[in-house]
Amino acid sequence: MKGNFHLLYYLRKQKVYKGGPRAIYMRITVDGKWAEMSIGRECESDKWNSSAGRAIGTKEDVRTLNSYLDSLQSKMRMAHQAFTRHRATDYSSDFARTVYRQITKKQISNEVICRT
């Protein structure tokens, strides 16, 4: 198992959307299988760079958001490396849920959507 890993941040419009900030979602792809979940943060769509997966701007709130995204990405990559060193099973969905819970120390229920 190679354990190819990719992480993507994107804005997602809710079903009942009347404007304003959109939820930021994280999609983790491991060996072609993916899981996505809300990271609990929001951003205005006109302040979001979809190709970079980051907010645009220099204000403190934008820098804080981008710093949080970088920190989360770093922690997920470190967890993926540790996971691939110690396990040799198919883990994409379980990996995403378990690691995200440990990193944020909160339960994920309805905001996790898994595809295998």
CA atoms within a 13 Å half-sphere pointing along the CA-CB vector of 40: 12
Residues 6 or more apart whose CB falls under 8 angstroms from that of 29 comprise 4, 5, 6, 7, 8, 92
Q: Which of 9-18, 21-30, 36-45 has the lowest mean pLDDT?
A: 9-18
Nearest to 42 by CA among 21, 28, 58: 21
Element (H, E) at 39: strand 33-43
pLDDT at 59: 92
Please give the single-letter amino acid code of residue 20: G
pLDDT at 111: 36
pLDDT at 77: 84
Nearest to 80 by CA among 28, 26, 12: 28
Q: Name the band, by pLDDT with cuts 50, 70 and 90, for residue 14.
A: confident
pLDDT digits (tens, 9 = 90+) for 103-115: 666 433 333 333 3
Q: Residue 17 is encoded by which pair of tokens? A: 């959307």
pLDDT digits (tens, 9 = 90+) for 26-79: 998 877 778 888 888 999 989 999 999 999 999 999 999 999 999 989 888 887
Please give the single-letter amino acid code of residue 96: A
**Positive/negative CA dihedral, 111, 47, 60, 19:** negative
